[in-house]
Amino acid sequence: MAGKASTKTAPATARAPQVKEWIDLRSDTVTKPTPEMRRAMAEAEVGDDVYGEDPTVNRLEQRAAEVFQREAALFVPTGSMGNLICVRVHCDHGNEVICESRGHIFNFETASMSAIAGCLPRPVETGDGILRWEHIEPAIRPKVYYRAQTGLISLENTHNIAGGRVLPTEVQDEICERAHERGLPVHLDAARIFNAATALGKSVAEITRKVDSIMFCLSKGLGAPVGSMVVGTRPFIERGRVFRKMFGGGMRQAGVLAAAGLIALEKHPPLLARDHQKAKRLAEALAEFPGVRIDPKDVETNILVFDVSGTGSSAPELSAKLKQRGVLANAIDPKTMRMVTHLDVSEDDIEQAIRVLQEVLPRPA
């Protein structure tokens, strides 16, 4: 492991890449490219993608469109830029974007929808993170010229901070049908849509078929080092291409990144089921500790969000204690922690993380 982490447990003589220091449960963004990805990156055919001449990027865009059964796709550097592009294409300045109050687009994207796209988020509380039509309808603005106008409904599937919850397809479909009757588009922050598809046993095309635009990430559970995709109609993607350039995301020989993305897209979706099993095992162990609040039934994918306020430690304190023992996990707020399983944590790592939790948390009676 590079950087600071490599000094932690490595004996002075060890070669850093051979030493496994941390069990990193902070996010599924932390995965390193596999040897197969690195080979593909080294050998990738490239060209200038701003001229549309990178064959590997073009192949990735075509494959993403095919997998989602849509007309076109656009390779973007990050999920955040992908979401921003979609907001900008769908909305006019001054529009409101209805989203779930713990949604990524509202909380973790540096207010870009306001700062750059000129839109106002209209966050709606749901409790369980499942945004339903009955939450959305009262938040839609009346069509009166002196009121802000609703421009977009933005959904998130799986819902990150709601603990990787899967948005049921019938709920999502109903939102789309009702929104379309009202003339409103629906965007899907589908950063982890392959996790949702795995949990539901359905294809990503089937569970996204009614939304107007999709942003999904190659760089999360699918394990690519960089990159996300926007998927939609051809005119939507062509408008999106303009805004990608405007936001500084016009990449040149990006085929070196797209090559890893293609492997993530083609080969890694079947691996996600294992991440879900690891998360379930961790959830079942966590649920045994007095003062930890988590229901393993709610852990549907690879993310665990749990309340530690009854343990005598705050979430940042617990995070620090785990780190001293080689386990990385983030506090979301003073009471709540998140752990995320991924390709680079093994079943043995999970057992080791559970042993470390036994050292730092009050023991079951």
Q: What is the bridge-based pairing of β-strands 72-76 and 23-24?
A: unpaired
Our measurement of the distance from residue 343's CA atom to the centroid of its chain's CA atoms, rounded to an integer in Å, reads 15
Residue nearest to ligand TLP (CB): 79
Task: Check binding of 24 to ligand TLP (CB under 6 A).
Answer: no
- Shortest reach from residue 13's CB to ligand TLP, in Å: 34
Question: CB of 196 within 8 A of CB of 165?
Answer: no
**Closest CB to ligand TLP among residues 140, 331:** 331
Per-residue binding letters, 99-118, with ligand TLP (x by CB under 6 A): -----x---x----------
How far is CA 137 from each of CA 107, 141, 153, 187, 352, rounded to the nearest angstrom? Answer: 22, 9, 10, 16, 47
Q: Taking the CA of residue 260 as centre, how many other CA atoms within 13 Å lie in the half-sphere pointing to its CB?
A: 25
Cβ nearer to ligand TLP, comparing 32 with 39: 32
Binding mask 133-172 for ligand TLP (x = CB under 6 A): -----------------------x---x------------
Q: Which of 144, 152, 93 is nearest to 122 (CA)?
A: 152
Least separation in angstroms between residue 206's CB and ligand TLP is 20
Q: Is 29 in the site for ligand TLP (CB under 6 A)?
A: yes
Nearest-approach distance from CB 301 to ligand TLP, in angstroms: 12
Among 189, 212, 275, 300, binds ligand TLP (CB under 6 A): 189
CB 102 to ligand TLP: min, Å: 10
Ramachandran area for residue 163 (φ above 0: left; ψ -120 to 50: alpha; else beta): left
Pairing state of beta strands 120-124 and 95-100? parallel
If one asks whether residue 208 binds ligand TLP (CB under 6 A), the answer comes out as no
Q: Of residues 22, 75, 79, 318, which one binds ligand TLP by CB under 6 A?
A: 79
Nearest to 198 by CA among 274, 129, 284, 132: 274
Distance CA 333, CA 331 (A): 6
Chain center to CA of 361 = 29
Query: Which of 197/361 has CB closer to ligand TLP?
Result: 197
List C-alpha distances in Å: 258 to 139, 231, 316, 342: 39, 15, 36, 20
- Is 342 a binding residue for ligand TLP by CB under 6 A? The answer is no
Q: Note whether 164 and 199 are within 8 A (CB).
A: no
Residue 328 CB, shortest distance to ligand TLP, in Å, is 12
The reply to whether 211 sits near ligand TLP by the rule CB under 6 A is no
Entry field: residues in the chain: 365
Cβ distance to ligand TLP smaller for residue 198 or 311: 198
Taking the complex as a whole, how short is the minimal distance between the CB of residue 104 and ligand TLP, in angstroms? 4
Q: Which two tokens stand for residue 78?
A: 């990050």
Where on the chain is the footprint of ligand TLP (CB under 6 A)? 27, 29, 78-80, 104, 108, 156, 160, 189, 191, 217, 219, 228
